[in-house]
Structure formats: C-alpha cells, structure tokens
A and B are shown apart, each in its own frame.
Chain A
Amino acid sequence: MALEDVCSFKERSVQHKWFSFSSLGDAAIPFPMSDHYNLRYSRLETSENNCGVPLHFFIPPLPHSSSFIKRPLSSFCPPKNSMTVQRPFRLAHGTTTLGFIFQGGVIAAADTRASAGGLVACPAVHKITPIHSHLVVTSSGSGADCMLWERILIREIRLYQLRHGHRLSIRATAKLLSSMLHPFKGTEMCVALTLCGWDNGPKLIYVCSDGARLQGDVFSVGSGSPYAYGVLDRELRWSLSKGEAISLAREAVFRATHRDAYSGNNVDLFHITAQGWSQRKREDLKEEYYRDKEKKGKKKNDKLK
C-alpha cells in the first residue's frame, strides 16, 4: 500500500493486496512478514495485516466450481491440500439484531435463536458480546464466523491498548475490523457486526464481511431486520427516556421474532453509556407475546363496552 513506501517496508513477494492463495498451496514459502505494530520480522508465517493470526488460519477452503465464487476469477489455482467439504445444509443467517442511539446512550438488542436451515440449533445463544467496557458488538450471519471474529477483535483491541497505552476509538476499531475482513470478501464467510459503544459520545457502526462500514443512528441486521425497522422507524426519537428506549428495543425484537421464523426465543438487551455497558436480564419473548395478547384483548373489551 502507499504508506508502506513511505515507511520503506520490504517488498513482499505477495501478488497483490494481502496474500496469495496459490502460493500458500505449496508447502511453506517463508514470507518475511513483519508484525504489523512492532515492525519486527517473525518466523511464524503470519499475515502482516491480520496482526499475528497464523496464515493457515486464513486459507478459506475454496470450492472448485467457480460458480460458487461471486467474483470472477481469471487465474484461479486452488491450493492442492484444501478440499472443500460440502455442507449437508445451506447456511442460513437468521437473526434479528438492532442498535440505536438516543439521549441516554446506545441500546443494543438481539434475539437468541441460532438456526441451521429449519432446525433451531440452539435457543439460547449470545449474539451480543462485550469487547471492552465501553463497546459491545452484535453479531449476525454465520455463527461460527461471528464467534471467531469477535474473539479476534477482542484480542486486537486489547493488544493495541497494551502497546499504545490508550484505547482505540470505535471508528478506528470498525476500520481495523473492516480491513481484517477484507481478504475474505468473495468467500462464503458471512459476518455482519454492529459495534455499539461510547467514546466521546455514543457511536454505532455497522461492519459487514462484504466490506460495508457505515456509521449511523439506528441499524438493524438480519433476516428479521425489516420487521424491526418497521417498529423502530415509527417510534424512535432522540429524546426517549431509558425505560422507553429499552421497551422500544424489546418491542422491535419481539415483532421481528413474531414474523420471522429464524428469530425467536429470548431477547438480550445491553445499554451503553459513558460509564460503560450494562446488561439486562435475558427475557423470554413468550411472556411478551402473552402480555401483548392480553393488552390487545383488554383494548378490545374496552372498545366493546
């Protein structure tokens, strides 16, 4: 990249951008990769821009049929030793997560269902993970990919803090994450994270494995997101009180889980302020459903009277 020339990084034999699939197929071409922050050369083949994660980690199993790959490949040579294992079922990305900013900070909410096709693989998953005291990340997409990238992000943020003595800003965290995800664009990896945090003010940034990185005031991600947007867009205002914001978030997730088959079970709610994040007790949406039915029944009775 351009800045490397200014810093006189050694010219790598890497073909372009980050690293080359074909050359990694052969046994071990020892790139002298420099550790991104410390500018030392480490023996372990680590991808420079992924800060120490072993390279073999990053060889996605490339399927042989080029129709699988979204981006056109011209000189495609699959690594000799990685055969793709065909999945027994289609990866489904069912979830409803949302985050929004209001006067009292940031609210992050998500359902807790992990689905695999038509099966509810797990009814009690944590889709919201704290990264540090003032940042949580909501995840959607492929569960395994999200878990991995959350752990990588936690590690990288902690390492930065230890090396530089101050915490990385949320915008920089989003950019770092986006850069780390970039080599996997075009593969089957699917991660859509919303960083919800506080640094000199509430921040909400959406990062996706497609490469999108958007800062905004309200985001909802997942198969249930259109339903959640329907509720959020009507009621959301900056001047909500904390209680109102929490019940709005819960209502939005509830409506989405009601309509979307791939979202459901419980709702997790996190509230982030200048003092850090706090988590509400996990609530079963079944209760919310009966409460809602009762409310509607009462309204109907009131109307009839």
Chain B
Amino acid sequence: MEYLIGIQGQDFVLVAADNVAASSIIQMKHDYDKMFKLSEKILLLCVGEAGDTVQFAEYIQKNVQLYKMRNGYELSPAAAANFTRKNLADYLRSRTPYHVNLLLAGYDDTDGPGLYYMDHLSSLAKAPFAAHGYGAYLTLSILDRYYRPDLSRDEAVDLLKKCVEELKKRFILNLPSFTVRLIDKEGIHDLEKLTLGAK
C-alpha cells in the first residue's frame, strides 16, 4: 500500500515517499509525511503498521538527538542505521515487535552519501538504490535498468519520475502525491512534490 524509494548519487541521496495515510479502504490523509529527520543530514523513512511507525521512528529520532546532546557530535548515518537495526532486532523476539520497514538516508562528511535498507525482520543492507512496498515490485527493475553510480541530481529526479509513472500506470492503488527530499553536504532539501495521479 505504501511506497518508499531511495536513490544514491555521487554526492547526494534522493528519497521519496507517498503521502497517503490509510485506514482499511479509506484514505484518512492525503498529505501525510513519512520522513523523520534524525539529524541535519539524516532522514529516516518509515512505513508499516499504524502506530508502530511513529512510535519507533520517534524513539530513534529522540535517541539520536540524545547522543548529540551527550557527546557533542552527531551520529554518522552508518552508526544511526546500525543503532536502528539493533533496536529492531531487540524488539523482534519480544512480545511486541515493531512491524516497520525503513529506509535510512544520510550524508557523512567523511564517507559521503549512504542509503540503508532495513525491513521488519531487522535486516540491514547498504544499497545504491532501494524501495519498499508493493510498488517496489514494479519499480526495482526500472532502477536496475537505468541506475548509474554517477547520476546527476536531475537525472536522479528523472529516474524517480520514471518509477512514479510506472506506479501510476500499473499499480492498482491510487497514490496521488509523493514527498521528495534530497540530502547532500549542505543538508536536507525539500524538492517539489510529485503529483502525477488524479488529485
């Protein structure tokens, strides 16, 4: 139902998420933001079960901020991703596991851009591009075909548009708009919302 996508370039990461907050067959909100800002250069995109997403993402968000307060410097994206995975794994075999699928995107001043794919079984993989949701089945092959490690920003946005157009064409659910953000060494930038579906 929900869709997340991330594309890593040479010196940036482009991420997008749909804007629908649904409850069974009804779209309760059309402008829901599924991205959580962990720090100046790290974004966590979170989809999954209704309450779990916000609870888990806010928990990670506050803990990353706490680390900065205690130690004076921010967690790197790799460290934040591993911390997130560890928390997911700890709760996995408890009585109340979090059923969430995540993409963590960040820019490290030493290592450059990074995109991390995590799923509800707390697997973690650093990937050049990734997607979550039913839409991923339709768009991963497009990413496989057209992705190059040296994509420019405009080319990455075009690739993203290709994926969204495919969803509009073949996905049975209506996902009218997508929030798009770009992370580079300057921080997190909001790009124009993609609205290719019926309003």
Contacts and interface: CB of A to CB of B under 8 A. Distances in A.
Interface residues of B, number: 26
A146 B32 CA distance: 26
Contact of A71 (B26, B29, B96): B96
A226 B26 contact: yes
B49 interface: yes
A60 interface: no
A95 B179 CA distance: 34
B96 A212 contact: no
B93 A213 contact: no
B119 interface: no
A211 B49 contact: yes
Interface string A204-241: 00101011111010010000011001000000000000
A214 B51 contact: no
B21 A3 contact: no
Contact of B95 (A1, A5, A76, A212): A76
Contacts of A185: 51-52, 96
Contacts of A76: 95
Given A210-B51, A211-B51, A214-B32, A74 B66 contact: no
Given A2-B59, A16-B91, A212-B21, A229 B54 contact: no
A205 to B, nearest CB: 11
Given A2-B66, A229-B26, A208 B96 contact: no
Interface residues of A, number: 31
Contacts of A5: 66
A74 B54 contact: no
Interface string A5-27: 11000000001110001000000
A185 B51 CA distance: 8
B29 A225 contact: no
B94 interface: yes
A5 B69 CA distance: 12
A206 B54 CA distance: 14
B55 A216 contact: no
A214 B29 contact: yes
Given A208-B50, A211-B51, A214-B28, 6 more contacts: A74-B93, A75-B94, A212-B50, A212-B51, A214-B21, A225-B26
Interface of A: 1-3, 5-6, 15-17, 21, 71-76, 178, 182, 185-186, 206, 208, 210-214, 216, 219, 225-226, 229
28 contacts: A2-B59, A2-B62, A6-B66, A16-B91, A16-B94, A17-B96, A71-B95, A71-B96, A71-B97, A74-B93, A74-B95, A75-B94, A75-B95, A178-B51, A182-B51, A182-B55, A185-B52, A185-B96, A206-B28, A210-B51, A211-B50, A211-B54, A212-B21, A212-B28, A213-B54, A214-B29, A219-B28, A225-B26
